[in-house]
Copies of this chain bind each other. A is one copy, B any other.
Amino acid sequence: MNLKELSKQLGLSQTTVSRAINGYPEVSLATRNRVQDAARKFGYSPNVRAKGLATGRSLAIGHVVSVSQTHEMMNPVFGDFIAGAGDVYARHGYEMILSVVYDNTEEEVYRNHKRRGTVDGVIVHGPLIQEPRIDLLNELGLPYAVHGRSSGHSGPYTWLDVNNRSSFRRATSFLLDLGHQRLGLINGLEAMDFAARRRDGFEDAHKDHALALDPALLYSGEMTEGYGYRAASEMLSMDTPPTGFLISSMISAIGARRAIEERGLKMGRDVSIVTHDDALSYLENGSSVPIFTAVRSSVRDAGRQLAEMLIAKVSGTETQIKTALLEAQLVVGNSTGPMRPPLRKTHT
């Protein structure tokens, strides 16, 4: 059933039917109801391509997920982010269009979106400190919203971010206050803006406590379980191993826990861990008491909020550039405890 047929059924013009369906005022209440009832009855919905062609908009938002070339890694955070965003899109009648790129060719995807008019706007995931995508999108005139920020960019743009620096500063201070003096950082790739900020927070806290930090305890890599394991293992094998870790992801924290337990040590007693927790649905961090002490911020909520922001932008509801800075929650769980007398080096 298309508009033509429906209007024939109703004995009305296409114009009127179209207007009735889209809620324009210049149609009487009676006919509006009649039209809407009929649409429901015949199961009519406007063809999305025809509508898009006529309006020049696509009612779609693009996401491009870049699979890291090094380890072909798909960021686990992505799933929950789109679970949040998708919900919002659906509510506003938008589609989500996902592109997967394997070799950092996101720019080509944006160019294509613009040229072919596939989407009305895009979400930028995982911004780097120096982020060429932002310049490109500005240049193209394709509306966008960034999940995170790019420190290398001064100009205003729409973004939503967790306050990574302050949350890692607080998390680090929490361990230092417990008496820990040597802390390891197991961070994400530090070309990424969020990771750089977390590192800054880590350093801030050391400065606050007038403590020097050992560069040998700064690890940065792709946040897999295995990376957490390897980084923690290496540090725990040092002559004076750290007594606490700050970790940028629950997945890596799980790996670090494995390294700790493999050595016969106990997490929370011998070695403390504070991790960032994105509140992923399949990694609930404990039911009553959290397994990991964590700075927590729901990435699904972030998805929801950022989607709202972008839709407001592309639909013209909001013309000002908005930003949002979320403060993470520091939740105390079983992975942290006070500093204990220095560990004897265990021979593995």
A residues at B contact (CB < 8 Å): 43-50, 52-53, 58, 60, 65, 67, 71-76, 78-80, 82-83, 85-87, 89-90, 95-102, 111-112, 115-118, 222-226, 251, 254, 257-258, 261, 280-284, 286-287, 291, 300
A223: B residues at CB distance < 8 A:
282
Q: Would you give the shortest CB distance from A82 to chain B, in whole angstroms?
A: 7
A52: B residues at CB distance < 8 A:
49
Q: How far is the CA of A111 from the CA of B44 in the complex (A)?
A: 11
Chain B, residue nearest A250 (CB): B225
A71: B residues at CB distance < 8 A:
281, 284
A102 and B76 form a contact (CB under 8 A): no
Given contacts A49-B52, A117-B48, contact A73 B225 (CB under 8 A): no
A222: B residues at CB distance < 8 A:
282
A79: B residues at CB distance < 8 A:
74-76, 78-79
B44 and A49 form a contact (CB under 8 A): no
Q: How far is the CA of A111 from the CA of B111 in the complex (A)?
A: 32
A283: B residues at CB distance < 8 A:
224-225, 251
B67 and A83 form a contact (CB under 8 A): yes
A49: B residues at CB distance < 8 A:
49-50, 52-53, 58, 117
Q: Would you give the shortest CB distance from A269 to chain B, in whole angstroms?
A: 13
Given contacts A73-B282, A224-B282, A283-B225, contact A44 B115 (CB under 8 A): yes
Max count, chain B CB within 10 A of own CB: residue among A112, A257, A282: A282
Q: How far is the CA of A118 from the CA of B59 in the complex (A)?
A: 11
A95 and B99 form a contact (CB under 8 A): yes
A282 and B116 form a contact (CB under 8 A): no
Chain B, residue nearest A254 (CB): B254
B115 and A45 form a contact (CB under 8 A): yes
Given A46-B116, A49-B117, A225-B283, 6 new contacts (CB under 8 A) = A60-B97, A74-B282, A76-B282, A82-B100, A86-B100, A257-B258
Q: List 12 A-B contacts (CB under 8 A).
A: A43-B111, A44-B115, A47-B117, A48-B58, A48-B117, A48-B118, A71-B281, A75-B282, A78-B79, A86-B100, A90-B100, A97-B97
A82 and B102 form a contact (CB under 8 A): no
A226 and B287 form a contact (CB under 8 A): yes
